[in-house]
Amino acid sequence: MTQQDVTRRFPTVGDGSGLFSEDSFSREEVQLALRNRGMPLEALRYAITPAGMHYLLVHFDIPFVEVQDWSLSVGGLVSRPLSLSLDEIRARPARTLAVTMECAGNGRALLSPRSISQPWLLEAVSTAEWTGTPLKPLLEEAGMQDAATEILFTGLDQGVQGEEVQYYQRSLSIADATRDEVLLAYEMNGRPLEPQHGYPLRLIVPGWYGMTSVKWLDGIEAIDHHFDGYQMDQTYRYSQSADDPGQPVERILVRSLMIPPGIPDFLTRGRLVEAGNLVLTGRAWAGPLEISRVEFSEDGGESWSQTQLGAPVSAFAWREWTFQWDARPGRYTLFVRATDSQGNTQPVEQPWNYQGMGNNMVQRVEVLVE
């Protein structure tokens, strides 16, 4: 037994490096994968993901909230601290916005070696219509002081991560927190939030990876320093090793996915496709940026063809692409890749990072055409 095993609160998986090199998955990763479901890729068919198919990521436990005992506090560096009930929040001006949300760890388990965490392949993305009240006017009403530099958001859920007992907390700069599209949401797809998606209230930060959209929100605080909590400075970093502080993970990078064509093989999920002309389709998104093109390849990226783009569902949501494919008998690895309005294109080979963050490499779909 190493010194580390003796002093750790919980025994760790693997050799203690935080990485795993073999292809087999540990019991702990399977346990996380069963709690945190992905969106089945065939659900890319829906512009707005049905709520029960929306991906899910919960670090700790889903808190049980009785709404009459719950309130949202707005405090810190404000001249008029507020405490609001759900009814009071619902009585405020409302806005509904379609938002594509993606987990920053999407694609993590495709890297090698992989970071030991929720083992996403490609399915940690969905789009919902969120209804809530804009945050900015609420901060103005509370009289945010000039000294404030960040807004700290606290969820009700508590747990242990990286040996630290903590509430789930994230902060945003004043500029990012006061953008018009930032909402305090109480409805998803026209219905009250379900417990697992943050009931009764969550933050929605369109264009940012999902970790920013704090669920079970009960505290908003204006502060005059950088919040250095675990979910800010220890994780959600683009880093090269356990000791490398790296760079913060923020906005969603460009990505496209394809609805796997034909019918699946039960175990491998390989696809069986009937020869002939078929329409391939999927969706592409780039956080706050627009998608400028989506390309398709049937020969493993040797040659690329332009696909047809549909209208974006909103300024912060995905857009559909379609491609007429002449499927001739044989085996193929289909690729799809998107480019955003700033000219960033998805990589075919993913540059590795220690936590497996922001992996946007092109999807590969194995098909057998008969």
Ligand X SMILES: Nc1nc2c(c(=O)[nH]1)N[C@H]1C(S)=C(S)[C@@H](COP(=O)(O)O)O[C@H]1N2
Is residue 205 near Mo ion by the rule CB under 5 A?
no
**Judged by CB, which is closer to ligand X: 55, or 323?**
55
Nearer Cβ to ligand X (54/108): 54
29 sits in which H/E element: helix 27-35
Q: Which of 39, 47, 57, 98 binds Mo ion (CB under 5 A)?
A: 57
- State the minimum distance, in angstroms, from the CB of residue 365 to Mo ion: 24
Distance of CA 323 to the CA centre of its chain: 26
Q: 271: Cβ–Cβ under 8 A, 6 or more apart, which residues?
A: 260, 261, 262, 263, 264, 265, 365, 366, 367, 368
Query: Does 54 interact with ligand X (rule: CB under 6 A)?
Result: yes
Contact partner at residue 201 from Mo ion, ligand X, none, CB < 5 to 8 Å by partner kind: none
262-267: long-range contacts, CB 8 A cutoff, minimum separation 24: 262/367
**Per CB under 5 A, 78 contacts Mo ion:** no
CA distances from 39 to 55, 102, 361 (A): 5, 10, 18
Contact 89, 184 (CB under 8 A): yes
Binder among 122, 135, 144, 211 for Mo ion (CB under 5 A): 211
Residue 108 binding result from Mo ion, ligand X, none, given CB thresholds of 5 to 8 Å by partner type: none
Q: To the nearest whole angstrom, how small is the minimum distance from the Cβ of residue 103 to Mo ion?
A: 3
CB of 221 to ligand X, least distance (A): 15
State both tokens at 125: 């993305």
- What is d(CA 48, CA 317) in angstroms, rounded to the nearest whole number? 9
Binder among 29, 157, 221, 295 for ligand X (CB under 6 A): 157
Q: Which lies closer to ligand X via its Cβ, residue 200 or residue 210?
A: 210
Residues ≥6 apart with Cβ < 8 Å to 136: 177, 178, 179, 180, 182
**Nearer of residues 207 and 210 to Mo ion, judged by Cβ:** 210
Helix (H) or strand (E) run with residue 141 in it: helix 135-142
By CB under 6 A, residue 57 contacts ligand X: yes
- In the complex, the residues that contact ligand X under the rule CB under 6 A are 54-59, 101, 103, 155, 157, 168, 197, 210-211, 213-216
- In the complex, the residues that contact Mo ion under the rule CB under 5 A are 57, 103, 210-211
